[in-house]
Chain A
Amino acid sequence: MRTLPIIIASMLAAPAAAQSSAIQFTEYDLDNGLHVILHQDASTPIVAVSVMYHVGSKNEEKDRRGFAHFFEHLLFEGSENIARGEFSKHVERAGGVLNANTTGDRTYYYEVLPSNQLELGLWLESERMLHARVDQKGVDTQREVVKEERRQRYENQPYGSILIEVLKRAYKEHPYQWPTIGFMEDLNAASEADYQAFYKKYYVPNNAVLVITGDFDPTAARTLVAKYFATIPKGANVVQPSIMEPPLEGEVRDVVYDRIQLPAVVTAYRMPANGTPDFYAVDLLNRLLSNGNSSRLNRSLKDEQQKAVYTGAFSLPFEDPGLTIMFAIANAGVDIKALETAMDAEVDRIRDQGVPAEELEKLKAQLETEAVQDRSRVAGIAGNLATAYMLLGDTKLVNTELDRYLAVSSEDLKRAANTFYNRKARVVLHYLPMSQKNP
């Protein structure tokens, strides 16, 4: 017999369950083309304000590599109403955090603030969009900072150059061939006019999406968005590059000598563009290979054969066709050719035998958990909404993308493995210790 308290408890539980099932959001456009997405969640008195611009390293000229990322640094420098160094002060003084990041496809800025500081966040982002200002001291300083970022993250770090080395061999035409951090000679060569032109071209409302998530009043938020963003003039239409990268002709095989002790094998294959049906199949293959201790590379290469200390397989989810990359660091004393053979054997096993249904179920259970975890922070939700709108073309995918994964069948995986893990069109890198460089 159900007692009253239990019935009440179950009634109380119901809305919570409903709330967690999907991310509720509204979206609309301002006249100047700025797309706005609002997602309200009052469980914590904080608010995330973010702007994603549809500009990444793929929008760069061949002799200005690293410009998009460099801009990310410059755009913390200030505006006509914010003196150099004050941008971050406004945020931190309000008890907030701020940061930004850049990929091949987009640049993303965000603040997470106490809920009473929404207007501050909107003011800051509108200043950044309308009339960011950079002085020479800012340019000079940030150029040095970026040099150190490059050293710290890519050069003074074992295996830190992997992505750079893979990209430059995996693409010949497409700007994905260079890393977002770019090259110092290009940044050194840039003039003030270059900066102005880049800013004017890409930092316009019609090339951006503004996302507000967290604890706010939607009506007030709309009014504030209008107040700070409606008057920002629309820019010229931004045309995204349409560079068709031809398939790799044959296998590109190379040795990279690095300051490492343990050799590593890297293989990279082209993969379909993010959001296309086969993208999800290949992304699932990467999870099959390396997500969790029971994944194939971890179990086989690390546990059973003890050939590797680390294995990984991951997708570069790009707007244009990206890459799927496999990576293994050899256990001490393991021959690098044996490691490569073992990696390839795992790919062959998928191509020949497919993926058993129960293993596919495991991947889907992992995805289901991830989908719930993705909803745990308003800042994370903001990023996912912006990405779904700008790079996948449909904000609703923030809730429905999981279905696309769940729709992938064992047959699809086998077919995708046979189509995309093409040994005649891939990059294979052997990372070897400097000491093995023959005199």
Chain B
Amino acid sequence: MSKLKLIIQREYLTRVRKKSFIIGTLLAPVGLLVYFLVIVGLTKYESGGEINVVVQDEAGVVGIIPDEKGVRYIPSGGRTLEQLKEAVVEGQYDGVLRIPQLASLKQNDLTIFYYSDKKMAPEKREFIERRVAKKVREFKIDSLHLDRASLEYLDTDVSIDPEKITEKGEDESKYTIGVGLVIGGIMAFIMFFMVMMYGQMVMRSVMEEKTNRIVEVMMSSVRPFQLMLGKIIGAGAVGLTQVVAWIVLSGAVMFVVPLLVDVDPQAMQPPVTAGQPQIDPEMAQGEAFRVFSELGKQNWTLLVGSFVIFFLGGYFIYSSMFAAIGSAMGDDYGEGQALVLPVTIPIILAFYIVAFVGIRNPDSGLMVFASMFPLFSPIVMPFRMAFSPPMWQIILSLVLTIGAAFFFVWMAGRIYRVGILLYGKKVSFKEIGKWLFY
């Protein structure tokens, strides 16, 4: 077996067999499961029990309100406010809801009163307000002798659907942007996460070898470059293993959750506001279909293929820098922090560019530049990919990233070779720069 292969194998196996890795890999999806169960539980949870509200409708505006969402509306039955209050004190009702007369039909602001010594949950309060507002609206419509059906015609949902003019253009639907944002966002996040986590893992591992002095023994058997590359590839393979395991396990979790609890898809949505129409199940199906058709429109071969290349490129660029930094660092991690910062800043910056600029305008000048610049491109370009940038930009970015990956691995190798055998010296960037030319 070749030496590089042996190194990769050891780096991979020792990590994958670690308890922390196994626990982390298994627990993350379990954590996700717990998260979903909690969310489902929370959305199903209704604050407080049922309350009985007696309604004193002075204006005769609201009429009878059906019981709903833990609120029972009881008509006052001709009793006075004082009598009703007494009934509340005696414990017959939770409170009195007094709806004063409307000054005129033009009144847009109506204050209604709730008499009780108990506090009302904000959720219930909001609900009652909405319910009464709806009743008032209906009262006004009837009083003005308007045709309800005609009024429904007034509400119109407007959305822009971009259409191509020439064949070169792309046919987008209003879902293109949304779907692109989600796919791009997920890819950018995975990149960011992997590079940060596994890049730093490489760094710590290099430091550890230096600190426990195995490295001098290793150096008499293998080239420094082989050891560094083996470590980078081994740790990267561990990262991929973890991501694949997470995807598979998360898929399983997603499949299992609906079986465990009965999820009401609407319960996951934020509460519907008064003016908005309820989601029509048929329409929802249509939306889902359009989202899927949009997903189908993506060039997945190109998307996944280039993502893998960008992933490898980005991983090699950053983990080799981390390896170089780790080799230059002594036993003291705290002291080395100053060296780590310049490596983490570009990753974070790239992520910020995506988060703050990319989401608003994926094709802006800054985004185009960032998707070419090799320190940013592995995170920025996969995000842009979901918005079908021009092919020449994709190819140029790929070429630059791959070129940069080779360059950084080479450069890190030169630094590593010197740094790894140097002890007891505080290293500056100037010093590291010199090592390149030893």
Please determine whether chains A and B interact with each other in the same assembly. Answer: no
B residues sitting closer than 8 Å to A (CB atoms) are none
